[in-house]
Structure 1
Amino acid sequence: MREYLLTLCVTVAVTYLLTGPVRKFAIAAGAMPKIRARDVHREPTPRLGGIAMFGGLCAGLLVADHLPNLNGVFELSNEPRALLSGAALIWLIGVLDDKFEIDALIKLGAQMISAGVMVMQGLTVLWIPVPGIGTVSLTQWQGNLLTVALVVITINAVNFVDGLDGLAAGLVCIAAAAFFLYAYRIWFGYAIEAAAPATLFAAILMGMCIGFLPHNMHPARIFMGDSGSMLIGLVLAASAISITGQVDPDAMALFAGGERNATHAMLPVFIPLLLPLTIIAIPVADLVLAIVRRTWNGQSPFAADRGHLHHRLLEVGHSHSRAVLIMYFWSALIAFGALAYSVHSASMLIVLVIVALSAVGLVLLLLPRFTPRAPRWAESFLPPRYRRRRTTAAGAAAPAAVEAVRGGSPTGPSEEALERTPASYGLHGATALSSRPANGRTRDRERA
């Protein structure tokens, strides 16, 4: 675990330190597109954040290659090289898209080629553990097609959900944490070395997202762009394919008490292999809804719009930060709920806790204007928006004076309102209000 933590920390540090210079480079290179109709931000923001994330990926793999216990991943498996090759290709296409806006079909072709590069180097699905049946071996063509499909689906799911500051990086970080815990348990709990590459990939992916999030939280100073969203989507898909399609259920059967129990033990990872509904449920749901919505309206599935889940949360009345936190909550609930169920599938307490947290999530969705307030003793540790406002006599009189000023006659504020204003606002407020002409005759006298 210590070597994984070291790899994670190095990836976080490199990604975080590179993001600042990358932001300056993006501004100098002109990678700051104009505000579009579907955008939520109000000011042009530089892209190309994927450059820093790719640097973190390379640093994490380099450090892991020189650690004693993780070096065996590179010696016994070709998956790290396959991941780096596919990631470099998809990252390069993303950088060009952030700068020159590449056509959607070209990006789709590049995603398939990147997946094919990984398949050619051995990162592919070999078998599928089917609950109730057992292990189903796949032919070479079946495994290759399934691998390419999973990579393309995951990349586009992450790309579609990248619409709010910090949303995509946070969701992928949650998914990577769930993958890491499960893969680590399979490797050290069942002594299956085939789970080592997936564990390493998930740790590095967490580092990439954590290092980039401080620069990408609302209000974001830089966007990851397609160079970042497609990159982390590919790494996430590689982790899922490695842990599910490479780990032999027959090896787990020796520890789980039979093939049927081993198949059920791998259920939380088997599900995201066929249709990622647990670990990356929110991005995939957004992807499916977007394709159905655009096709129903006679548009291209790749045509951008404002109908994504995060846009719906904003329309309901949630703020930017709250919409992101709500999607964090649901992603963590689904991912870690499936993870907990895989560990103790016979425990009814886990089901009850998931149901209770789901009810809490529904309440948060239905109360967009509810603002939580922390106790006064904890206010010094929280952001100002969660603190109670202390009203004073002058502070209470200030809103009344403003309403009196704004609600006066069309020609300007009344003299009574102006007389009350200095006592409420002080010298600065009195000067500011008295400097405003009360009516047209006052302006004529000033010009004279």
Structure 2
Amino acid sequence: MKDYLIAFLITAAITFALSWVVWKVAIRYRLHPAIRERDVHKRPTPRLGGIAMFLGLVAMFLISSQMPAFAIVWENPTRMWALLGAATLMVLVGVADDLWDLDWMIKLGAQFAAAWIVVGVGGIQIYYLPFGSQVIASGWPSATISILAIVVVMNAVNFIDGLDGLVAGVCLIANAVFFAYSALLARDFDNSAQTNTAVFITVVLLGVCAGFLPFNWNPAKMFMGDAGALLLGLMMASSAIVVTGNLPPQLLADNDLFGRSQLIGAFIPVILPIVVVLLPLLDFGLAVIRRTARGKSPFSPDRQHMHHRMLDMGHTDRNAVFVFYAWTAIISLSVLLMYIGTTSGWPGLYLPGVGFFFLGAIACVLVTLPPSRRAVPAASDSKVSS
């Protein structure tokens, strides 16, 4: 665990330093796009934070390749280089879009290409679909499901990038929970290269988000842009597939491993990677339905995302962000507690996870409701994007 802490601190420090450099360069050379009609920030703000995040991630990947503690992660170097290759493609396309607003078809094609690199070259695929019994996807079904999952998560994360600190904070919370889950799985049941790779990726993402968040906090000095959001979505989806899609069926079929709640234990490895990005996925799904119902492209920008609705309800930018943080923490922590309960020797320990969810959901609903008194409108520096 000490090595993961060191990796987190190194990644956060490098990302923070590079964010400062990118911000200074972007301000000096006016590397920021014009304010769009759908934007609500009032002053031109660089959207190149994704470059610093990417370089911080690459730096930690390269450093880890020389650390004996992460030798198991580099047991299959092709997988790691494929992840870096896919991340490079996404960041290049994301930066181009942040500067010049590329056509959505170009971006979508690049996303499928990056997903194919992860799946086809890196071999990161969903081989097992563990729903209580052995269900194996192989060949083109496995590749197709994996590619679609990666593309959907990338777009889901990108779609909620609309308020200062929203994506960085949500991903920080989500990856912290997924780190705990992956680390527990590696410690207790499956100390394989795949599981350790998932743990390593989540630690690096935690460092990337922590290092960039100070520059993205309201009022933001810099946005992560499509480059940063797509990078986070790509790596989060990949880490989830690495561990969950490769869990041996016998691990989930053995009642002794999941105590007396084998059914819940078998479902949780599938559920938890989904719930940690549940809000982005929900926002993405609603946007697709809303836009296609109007005869528009699913990727055409509008101002009806969940965070926009929060602002229209009267929440301030920061309050809206905290509400999203709260929902992300409650949902993901509840499932994690259920997992811990099902893997313990104490029958029914998963019930506190259920109780935590209901109590937390009630509290979140109360803070989500419109404020009793609408705040006086003020100039906002938040980013609103697709």
Aligned mate of 2:323, from 322, 326, 349: 326
Cα pair distance change 1:205/1:244, threshold 3 Å:
same
CA positional deviation for 1:264: 3.8
Aligned partner of 1:157 in structure 2 is 156
- Name the SS of the counterpart of 1:150 in structure 2: helix
State the SS of the aligned residue for 1:136. Answer: coil
Decide whether the 8 Å contact of 1:128 with 1:136 is kept in 2. Answer: yes
**Aligned counterpart, 2:365:** 362
1:46 maps to a residue whose letter is P
Superposition pairs of residues 43-192 of structure 1, within 5 angstroms: 43-76=43-76, 78-120=78-120, 121-131=122-132, 134-192=133-191
Match of 2:313 in 1: 316
Which residue identity is paired with 1:51?
A: I
Partner of 1:424: none
Which range moved further: 177-186 or 187-196?
A: 187-196
What amino acid maps onto 1:363 in structure 2? Answer: L
Amino acid across the alignment from 1:165:
D
Instruction: Give yes or no for contact 2:85–2:117 (8 Å, CA) kept in 1.
Output: yes
Shift of 1:271: 2.5
Note the C-alpha offset of 1:351: 1.6
Matches within 5 A, 1:278-297: 278-297=275-294
**Counterpart in the other structure of 1:36:** 36
CA–CA separation in structure 1 for the residues paired with 2:263 and 2:4: 27
Partner deviation per Cα, 1:130-161 (whole Å, 9 max, x = no partner)? 13xx1211121011101110110000001100
Distance 1:129 1:18 in 2: 41
**Could you say which residue in structure 1 is the equivalent of 2:377?**
none
Distance 1:58 1:147, change over 3 A: same
Matched, 1:298 2:299: no
Distance 2:286 2:304 in 1: 9
Identity of aligned residues (%): 38
Q: How does 1:266-285 map to 2 (within 5 A)?
A: 266-271=266-271, 276=274, 278-285=275-282
Q: Which amino acid aligns with 1:355?
A: F
Give the whole-Å Cα distance in 1 for the aligned partners of 2:70 and 2:336. 24
Distance in 2, matches of 1:156 and 1:258, equals 34
Match of 2:233 in 1: 233
Contact 1:54 1:231 in 2 (8 A): yes
Q: Distance in 2 between matches of 1:29 and 1:102?
A: 21
Quick check: 1:124–1:147 contact (8 Å CA) kept in 2? yes
* Equivalent residue runs for 1:384-403 within 5 Å: none
Offset of residue 59 of structure 1: 1.7
- Alignment check: 8 A CA contact 1:249 1:263 kept: no
Q: Structure 1, residues 70-119: CA drift from partner, whole Å, max 9, x if none?
A: 12210246432221111111111111111221111110000000010111
The separation in 2 between residues aligned to 1:14 and 1:256, in whole angstroms, is 43
Q: Take 1:126 and 1:260, find their aligned partners in 2: how far apart are those partners?
A: 26
2:154 and 2:234 in contact (8 A); partners too: yes
Provide the rounded CA distance (Å) in 1 between the counterparts of 2:27 and 2:252: 51
> Contact conserved, 1:95 with 1:227, CA < 8 A, in 2?
yes
Q: Contact 2:251 / 2:257 at 8 angstroms: preserved in 1?
A: no
Letter in 1 for 2:130: P
Q: CA deviation at 1:2?
A: 0.4
Distance 1:103 1:272 in 2: 33
Match of 1:222 in 2: 222
What is the deviation of 1:43? 1.2
Q: Taking structure 1 as reference, are residues 255 and 25 closer, same or farther at Cα in structure 2, changes over 3 Å only?
A: farther
Give the distance between the partners of 1:342 and 1:325, measured in 2 at CA: 26
Q: Secondary structure at the match of 2:134?
A: strand
Match of 1:344? 341
Could you say if the C-alpha distance between residues 78 and 339 of structure 1 is closer, same or farther in structure 2, counting changes exceeding 3 Å? farther
In structure 2, the partner of 1:383 is: none
Q: How does 1:244-255 map to 2 (within 5 A)?
A: 244-251=244-251
Cα offset, 1:24, TM superposition: 2.4
**Cα distance in 1 between the residues matched to 2:260 and 2:81:** 33
Partners of 1:176 and 1:205 within 8 A in 2: yes
Partners of 1:363 and 1:245 in 2: how far apart? 36
Q: Distance in 2 between matches of 1:40 and 1:241?
A: 36
Give the superposition deviation at 1:206. 0.7
Structure number with greater Rg is 1
C-alpha deviation, 1:226, in angstroms: 0.8
The structural deviation recorded for 1:262 is 6.1
- Bigger Cα displacement from structure 2, 2-11 vs 359-368: 359-368
Say which SS state the counterpart of residue 222 (structure 2) adopts: coil
Answer whether contact 2:164 2:217 (CA < 8 A) is retained.
Answer: yes
In the alignment, the residues of structure 2 paired with residue 58 and residue 69 of structure 1 have an alpha-carbon distance, to the nearest angstrom, of 18
TM-score by length of 1: 0.78
- Paired amino acid for 1:42: K
SS in 1 for 2:298: coil
Alignment-derived partner of residue 382 in structure 2 = none
Q: Secondary structure at the match of 1:127?
A: coil
Cα distance, 1:29 vs structure 2:
4.8
Q: Deviations over 1:361-403 (max 9, x none)?
A: 11112252579xxxxxxxxxxxxxxxxxxxxxxxxxxxxxxxx
8 Å CA contact 1:129, 1:263 repeated in 2: no
Residue 106 to residue 359, structure 1, CA distance change in 2 (3 Å): same
Deviation (angstroms), 1:259: 11
Aligned to 1:395: none
Unaligned runs of at least 5 residues, structure 1: 372-448
Contact 1:3 1:67 in 2 (8 A): no
Amino acid of the structure 1 residue aligned with 2:280: P
CA-based RMSD of the aligned residues comes to: 2.1
Cα distance in 2 between the residues matched to 1:206 and 1:353: 24
**1:119–1:31 CA distance, 2 compared to 1 (3 A):** same
Tell me the number of residue pairs that the alignment of Structure 1 and Structure 2 aligns: 366
